[in-house]
């Protein structure tokens, strides 16, 4: 059996972050060493509470949760209650979790765990990249200590969802994103180009509801608000993009991209209309080993568009098809 993937999950736990966490927590090959939270969908403190609720649901209160940045480096935080609800979980009004976050700040936890586990930890970043950039400032040698970084963020060919040019996670802290993408560690970027093509539908929600487990009932409940948003504002039909769960599946090798060139990527940090845009030199998609200066980021541009079935299978307690990549 393949060895476990050992993760730090850095997230802004709203609805799709919760799905990503549950997807990973249902995989016995995956070890989540810690969860760190950041502003984004909700405030970082609210995200920590939501994370603890998810962990409590599956009896994993042993996983530490650390609170991180509550704003970007400019001191602003553009939250998304219209997408995820005021509580980040579809306005479901769930009771407070029994456990509490650790007192250790998120960036410090990332650095400490990386030092204690050199070359083992895979960081899965599902929100703005402020915590990771702060960790880089605390430990400039972090890229050597971390095995890999997978980021849900950016838009290459696809329009942004925060501005016409920018995806929300990158737009929330472009300076931090630029630092993380240029830090020299192995990076996989999972942008809107693919997350918007993997759509979880009302039929999938009906399957969850029919399964009748505590997890599937929880997911069906929080997805009601999410599907409402997508129906009214994006697709015009009952379906929601699999942003964070898809990134999680790619990180642990369950989804093999059909197109994922290693190319040069930069972030627009100016104050114009392009602020937060991910600028990727995707001319490299035509070569297996692109000879372009600064090519360091594996950008996922195509998947088979079958992930929602795998997600539903996993949450309903069926293993689904596992296709681990090297």
Q: Known catalytic residues?
A: 12, 243
Q: Reduce the secondary structure of 45-69 to three states and give it as a string.
A: HHHHHHHHHHHHHCCCCCCCEEECC
Beta bridge partners of 199: 241
User: What are the CA-CA distances from residue 222 to residues 4, 41, 121, 151, 167 (Å)?
Assistant: 29, 14, 30, 23, 23
d(CA 36, CA 203): 32
Let me know: does 13 contact 37? Beta carbons within 8 Å: yes
Up-side HSE of residue 220: CA atoms within 13 Å toward CB? Answer: 18
Let me know: does 123 contact 7? Beta carbons within 8 Å: yes
DSSP 289-301: S---TT--EEE--
- What three-state secondary structure class fits 8? strand
d(CA 77, CA 226): 21
Q: Reduce the secondary structure of 201-246 to three states and give it as a string.
A: EHHHHHHHHHHCCHHHHHHHHHHHHHHHHHHHHCCCCCEEECHHHH
Let me know: does 290 contact 284? Beta carbons within 8 Å: yes
Output the CA torsion 42→185→163→10 (10° steps): -10
């Amino acid at each position: 059996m393949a060895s476990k993937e050992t993760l730090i999950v850095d997230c802004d736990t709203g609805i799709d972050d919760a799905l990503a966490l549950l997807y990973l927590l249902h995989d016995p090959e995956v070890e989540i060493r810690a969860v760190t939270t950041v502003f984004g969908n909700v405030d970082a403190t609210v995200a920590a509470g939501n994370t603890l609720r998810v962990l409590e649901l599956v009896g994993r209160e042993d996983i530490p949760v650390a609170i991180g940045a509550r704003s970007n480096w400019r001191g602003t935080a553009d939250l998304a209650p219209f997408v995820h609800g005021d509580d980040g979980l579809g306005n479901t009004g769930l009771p407070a979790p029994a456990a509490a976050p650790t007192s250790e700040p998120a960036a410090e936890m990332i650095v400490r765990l990386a030092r204690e586990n050199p070359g083992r930890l895979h960081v899965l970043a599902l929100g703005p990249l402020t915590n990771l950039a702060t960790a880089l400032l605390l430990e400039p040698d972090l890229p050597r200590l971390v095995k890999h970084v997978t980021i849900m963020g950016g838009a290459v060919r696809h329009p942004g969802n925060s501005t016409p040019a920018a995806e929300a996670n990158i737009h929330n802290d472009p300076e931090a994103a630029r630092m993380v993408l240029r830090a020299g560690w192995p990076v996989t970027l999972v942008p809107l180009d693919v997350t918007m093509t993997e759509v979880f539908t009302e039929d999938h929600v009906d399957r969850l509801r029919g399964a009748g487990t505590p997890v599937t009932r929880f997911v069906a409940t929080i997805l009601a608000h999410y599907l409402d948003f997508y129906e009214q504002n994006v697709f015009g039909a009952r379906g929601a993009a699999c942003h964070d769960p898809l990134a999680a599946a790619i990180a642990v090798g369950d989804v093999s991209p059909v197109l994922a060139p290693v190319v040069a990527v930069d972030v627009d940090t100016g104050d114009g209309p392009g602020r937060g845009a991910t600028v990727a030199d995707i001319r490299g998609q035509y070569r297996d080993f692109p000879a372009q200066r600064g090519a360091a980021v594996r950008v996922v541009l195509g998947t088979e568009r079958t992930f929602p079935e795998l997600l539903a299978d996993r949450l309903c307690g069926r293993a689904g098809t596992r296709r681990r990549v090297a």
